[in-house]
Amino acid sequence: MAHSPKHHLSGKQISPRAVTGTESLPELIQSAFTAYNAGRIREACRLLAEKMLQPDVTVAMSLSGALTPGGFGKSCLVPLIEAGAIDWMISTGANLYHDTHHAIGLKLHAGSAAWNDVELREEGVVRIYDIVFDYEVLLETDKFYRKVMRLPEFQKPMSTAEFHYRVGRWVAAVEDRLGLTGTSLLAAAYRHAVPIFTSSPGDSSIGMNVAALALEGSQLLFDVNADVNLTAAIVWQAKEQGGKSGCWIVGGGSPKNFLLQTEPQIQEVLGLSEAGHDYFLQITDARPDTGGLSGATPGEAVSWGKVDPEKLPDAVVVYTDSTIALPLLTHYVLAEGARRTPKRLYEKLPEFLELLTKSFEAKKQERIGEGMLEM
């Protein structure tokens, strides 16, 4: 492709205004976040506010790292859900478990990473870096989950989205009774019908309690097949209805892969024609050169069919701590008025799954007719 002479010098001149202390946060980001990862935060803010939060985009967030113990559920994720900025989520079970502490009135405290952990153990204090809480917080949260999960409505196999929606109703009820409305991610997701999936449901204290109840005869099981098909169905309906799919990846790990694998599930496994997710925004502190999924770039995702190659200009990776970037991004999009009516996707999951199933069956019959179906 031919370029005009010195086309690489066509970018905006770097000449920021002096910081005065009177700027709004969006003004500060647009002016002073000029390059390096500050520049990537500026690009991420604009990508979210100007493209990803348009009405025709279905936005998924994957969530890893210990964010809810630090209160980022209440400060950022709940406002984002209420603003219609998150349509569906994939989270570690740990984030949802620790989210529950806040909602049922249990206290977490600021501490120090330099404290002696042997002493903390002797005193019955649990530490997450510089956050500390009484060991009883875990026991009380376990007790809450076991009480809820023993109810008749939980005595069956279900997707993790159904499980979290049902749990969210009980969390919301406790939140309201204690005067803590607006505290919990689970409760906000229930109120706005935002489906939350967990890619590794046994890998958290919630999963541990489910396993414990199985020993006493509980019929609760997580249907991981339903999770795979429902997440793919959400993406398929978004694209088939003429819309777009946006991925907002906070951290990495299993939730990131579970979100991105929706496209290979559609294309590679189900054999349906699709090009990949349209928008890719990741906040990570992982390096790409170690080969780990957490640091994998959007370019690498293109090779798997996870991201539309034509949409790479709309892919941003911010290499920084999620606890720094998430409040900045949340403030920016809310200050810029990037609000939408919540899509309430949980209520539409059966319809989406039916659409995916019909498309898959039609493709299978087409392949049979062409003699291409392999056993």
Give residue 4's pLDDT: 66
Give residue 31's pLDDT: 95
Give residue 127's pLDDT: 97
Q: Is 252 helix (H, G, I), strand (E, B) or coil?
A: coil
Q: Is 114 helix (H, G, I), strand (E, B) or coil?
A: coil
> Strand 315-319 vs strand 279-284: parallel, antiparallel, or unpaired?
parallel
Q: Using pLDDT thresholds of 50, 70 and 90, give the confidence band for residue 236.
A: very high
Give residue 80's pLDDT: 98
What phi, psi does 22 have (nearest 5°)? -100, -5
Residue spans of the domains in the chain: they are 26-94+157-204+223-369
> What does the alpha-carbon distance between residue 315 and residue 311 come to, in Å, rounded to a whole number?
7
pLDDT above 70 covers what percent of the chain? 97
CA–CA distances in Å: residue 310 to residues 42, 62, 315: 22, 23, 10
Q: Are 246 and 311 in contact (CB under 8 A)?
A: no
Give residue 254's pLDDT: 93
Unique residue bearing structure tokens 């409760």: 187
> What does the alpha-carbon distance between residue 371 and residue 375 come to, in Å, rounded to a whole number?
11
> Strand 221-222 vs strand 279-284: parallel, antiparallel, or unpaired?
unpaired
Give residue 355's pLDDT: 96
Q: What share of the chain is helix, strand, coil (3-state, %, to 5)?
A: 55, 15, 35
Give residue 305's pLDDT: 81
Annotated active-site positions, please? Answer: 306
Q: For residue 67, give the DSSP letter.
A: -
pLDDT digits (tens, 9 = 90+) for 253-312: 899 999 999 999 999 999 998 889 999 999 998 787 777 767 777 777 778 787 878 878
Q: Using pLDDT thresholds of 50, 70 and 90, give the confidence band for residue 375.
A: very low
Give residue 374's pLDDT: 60
> Strand 131-134 vs strand 109-110: parallel, antiparallel, or unpaired?
antiparallel
> What does the alpha-carbon distance between residue 210 and residue 152 come to, in Å, rounded to a whole number?
14
The listed CATH number (3.40.910.10, 2.60.120.10, 3.40.309.10, 3.40.1030.10) that belongs to domain 26-94+157-204+223-369: 3.40.910.10
> Strand 57-63 vs strand 279-284: parallel, antiparallel, or unpaired?
unpaired
Mean pLDDT taken over the chain: 93
Secondary element (H or E) of residue 64: none
Q: Are 263 and 311 in contact (CB under 8 A)?
A: no
More confident residue, 298 or 24: 24
Mean per-residue pLDDT, 162-171: 98
pLDDT digits (tens, 9 = 90+) for 213-232: 999 999 999 999 999 999 99
Give residue 187's pLDDT: 98
Secondary element (H or E) of residue 42: helix 36-47
